[in-house]
Amino acid sequence: MGLGSDMYRQQILDHYKNPRNYGELEDPDFTHVGENPSCGDTIRMQVALDDAGETIDAVRFTGDGCAISMASASMLSERLHGMSIEELDDLDTDDITEMLGVDISPMRVKCAVLGRQVAQDGSKIYRGELDPDDRTKTEE
């Protein structure tokens, strides 16, 4: 891994210590909360869409968790801006691990993908495809 890996670790630490888009949106189109029981991470994502309801205009998140879950949510919040709902739905685990840029152990993948799952489930609730009472939980 060498030098590149160190750079990504620094980036993860920076996002953990100085999370981007941390906080509340005044008028989000959808808000959703999820948790990773195995690590104790909790993330709440808020998303505002453009007037057509198709493109992500703004993202804010709050939560508490390990460095990987918080850094991943922070990076994701930047990446989602300008994305379509379809593009959000298409994001997978590989997209998230590539975004983080480091090898993540199977146990930590749940931490890394929590923000993505919360955003995707929030989007499904917004479109009426998922029950609003379903809290996102990464699988044990």
H-run or E-run covering 9: helix 2-17
The pLDDT of 96-117, averaged and rounded, is: 94
Residue with tokens 């199977």: 106
Provide the residue ranges of all domains of the chain, joining segments of one domain with +. 2-137
Question: 19 pLDDT band (50/70/90 cuts)?
Answer: very high
Tens of pLDDT, residue by residue over 36-95, are 998 899 999 999 999 999 999 999 999 999 999 999 999 999 999 999 999 999 999 999
Burial class (CB in 10 A: 0-12, 13-18, 19+), 107: exposed
Domain 2-137 has CATH 3.30.70.330: no
How high does pLDDT run on average in the chain? 92
pLDDT of residue 139: 63
pTM of the predicted protein model = 0.92
